[in-house]
Amino acid sequence: MTRRPVAVLLAVVLAAAGCTTTEPGGDEAAGPAPTDRSLVGAQAPAVDPTALPTVEREQGPMRLADGLPPPTNRWFSGLVFGDEPQPVFPLPLAVGLTSTGFAYGLPDVRADGTLIAGGYAPQVQVDLGESVTGVVSRYDAATVDVDLVAEDDQVRGTVHLTRGSPVVRYTARTAHGLGLDRSFDDAGAGLPDGVATAEVDGRTHALVGVDGLDAAGALDGSGSTLELGEGESVAWLAAPDDPAGGSAALPELVRAAGEAVEASTVSYATGTDDVTTTVGYETTSGGPAVAVRFPHQRDAADDATCGLGSYATVLGTVDVCRATELSWRSTAREPVVGLDVSDLGEPARDELVEQVRADADRVLAETRPADTYFGGKALARDAELWTLARDLGMDDVAADLRASLLTDLRLWTDPDGCEERPERCFTWEPTLGTVVGQATAFGSEEGNDHHFHYGYFLYAAGLLAAEDAELAEEVAPVVDLLAADVAAAADVPAGDGAPMPALRTLDVVMGHSWASGPSPFGDGNNQESASEAVAAWHGLALWADARAAAGLPDEGLTSQARWMLSLEAASARAYWTDFDRSDPVADGLQADVTSLVWDGKRERATWFSAEPSAALGIVVLPVTGVSTYLGEDPARVRDNLAEALGTTDLWADDATWDVMFGDQLLMYAGLMGPEEATAALEVARELPEDRIDDGSTRSWLLAWLHGRAD
């Protein structure tokens, strides 16, 4: 959680071979029929945001060209929102705008205690000699253009950033000079003609002409003033580490840096075992760009020349490549309906029936919360309880739970609800182009955490409508809007308001989502609960399957949801729970979990609690049938629990688990194997009621552990 001028369509290529699989411990979830698809520039889903009541909110200044969807929840959101632009982290570089130009630097990445820090520290500053304001004028999945607009409202030049590239490019829109805060000299032997270099903190920085421009010739005698004609471009490249590859490869990298990256594309393919994600770099001549390969992309080399050096980033050591595209694989994940209780023995079944009845009596006597976060969690919790009652043959309890759930779900999904009441309904906010639930929570009115919140609604709707076509059709107008708000495949027009941006929260290059809407932070955007992001795409996949079963238009959503689910689960492990502790970047880190990930730092911390158990629990919850992805390294699960609980003897004392998120951590412990699941089951029976998360029940805790115990 975060406590926090041309319209552009995200080019998405959908190339999917669908399949149906079963996740261990759950029912078979209907998947898309096998098919081959290739859709360039995917169409927006057929939703109408203006069907909701419009409530416009003051969102503050936006440095954004007319017609562009406001880029909330992006790695570069801090450039657009807030009184002053924030530094951003294309990575491995960090870039900041100044009152007269821009600056960039290669962060000095250090680990100490529970923090890996790599903040913005400018090393090369570029000065236009007059006041300018940075305005984002174009963006797509991996590239961003920022126009530098002078006081006469004329664009002097454009800064071009590429996600995952050590290159910053600048194009002059009018003939003018640039002042540099350090001298760049003719590089001399070893590098191509026309290149100038400077030594900055012991590292070579190259100034490269783009599309044949002689960058060295454009410098004055001091090497600190650069004269550019209209339309001319230069680029800066910070040389990589690793003398064995980096310095030898520098000429090759410099030549690639002279290739202008103009846009990016995204494609994916889903299969039985893996999903493949491809990011393509469109350059002026079609040649390769300079890009890095992040830890979650280790196998990305199909159409790339890698091993050209490395950089330290807060995410780990990254390899340098020349590539027209980078493709990488993630383990395929399928949505899971409920928990498998079909093989329980009689004692376990009797225990579970008794607990389900007690939990049902409790939740049916309560009023579910009215805000979109806790209200969504309660719907998801009770939908899970309903699946248990149904699968245990408790028809009376199941009927009562379903009736209660449908009453609330219909309340939330009434398109006109906010014209009649101040809460438990959704509105359209036309300034940001987003759906906002009433009442708000955790800054949701400015775009924060929408995938966390709406993922619970998608999950509940997907479970309840799985075999109820009439219900799916009834709630689809609003539930589809929630899905589009966080995961539309392409921009969604919205009358006179701002369009919904494509893939609002998902950073495709990094393989994970961002939580903050405006990102008003000096360390970039952040995401805390990676597991709730995974849960969001799990909910999206269940809802997509329910829609498909009801005969509603699929529009590729079943494949897209599985891709997003698989991608996010892989990155959640790579950077939150199971990162490589042997990476030199982690030298000095005294934490096995980094629960709060930014572009400029990673830390074992939360927005809401200093308890060690909170740092692990927030990246585990909500435990569902798909959460088995968290247990693929049982030894790491044990280490993470030892850190969170302050002991290596996990079962010495029941009081060990009397901590925040104790129930979620017990379910996490069940992933270590049958013996540990049995031990966890004994503790779970006596766990204090206030240690059961409000998004779960003791019934779900017991059912999860019974399914894994001896």
pLDDT in tens, 583-623: 999 999 999 999 999 999 999 999 999 999 999 999 999 99
Q: What percent of the chain has pLDDT over 70?
A: 93
Distance CA 559, CA 638 (A): 34
Nearest to 463 by CA among 452, 475, 445, 453: 475
DSSP 627: G
Q: What percent of the chain has pLDDT over 90?
A: 86
For residue 190, what pLDDT is reported? 83
In the predicted structure, residue 291 carries a pLDDT above the cut 50: yes
For residue 655, what pLDDT is reported? 86
In the predicted structure, residue 322 carries a pLDDT above the cut 80: yes
- Least confident segment among 74-83, 144-153, 172-181, 235-244: 235-244
Distance CA 146, CA 159 (A): 5
For residue 42, what pLDDT is reported? 63
For residue 131, what pLDDT is reported? 98
Q: What is the pTM assigned to this prediction?
A: 0.93
Q: Write the pLDDT tens digit of every residue in 507-549.
A: 999 999 999 999 999 999 999 999 999 999 999 999 999 999 9
How far from each other are the two terminal CA atoms of the chain, in whole angstroms? 35
- Supply 634's token pair: 């049982």
Question: Mean pLDDT, the chain, as a whole number?
Answer: 92
In the predicted structure, residue 40 carries a pLDDT above the cut 80: no
Nearest to 683 by CA among 646, 660, 658, 648: 658
Greatest alpha-carbon span in the chain? 88
For residue 211, what pLDDT is reported? 87
With beta carbons less than 8 A apart as the criterion, state whether 386 and 402 touch: yes
Provide the 10 A C-beta neighbour count for residue 9. 17
DSSP 224: S
Query: Which pLDDT band, with edges at 50, 70 and 90, does 27 fall under?
Result: very low
Residue type, 663: D
- Calculate ∠ Cα 664-670-676, nearest 5°: 130
For residue 415, what pLDDT is reported? 97
Q: Is the model more confident about 655 or about 171?
A: 171
DSSP 285-330: SSPPEEEEE-GGGTT--TTEE--S-EEEETTEEEEEEEESEEEEEE
What integer is the mean pLDDT of 131-137? 98
Q: Write the pLDDT tens digit of every residue in 538-553.
A: 999 999 999 999 999 9
What integer is the mean pLDDT of 324-353? 96
Q: Is the model more confident about 40 or about 215?
A: 215
For residue 36, what pLDDT is reported? 28
Nearest to 170 by CA among 131, 124, 121: 124
Q: Is residue 100 packed enough to be buried (19+ CB in 10 Å), middle (13-18) or exposed (0-12)?
A: middle
Q: Write the pLDDT tens digit of every residue in 416-469.
A: 999 999 999 999 999 999 999 999 999 999 999 999 999 999 999 999 999 999
Nearest to 575 by CA among 621, 612, 529: 529
Query: Which pLDDT band, with edges at 50, 70 and 90, does 5 fall under?
Result: very low
In the predicted structure, residue 16 carries a pLDDT above the cut 70: no
What residues have CB less than 8 Å from 52, skipping those under 6 apart? 415, 418, 426, 427, 428, 435, 478, 481
Distance CA 515, CA 596 (A): 11
With beta carbons less than 8 A apart as the criterion, state whether 601 and 594 touch: no
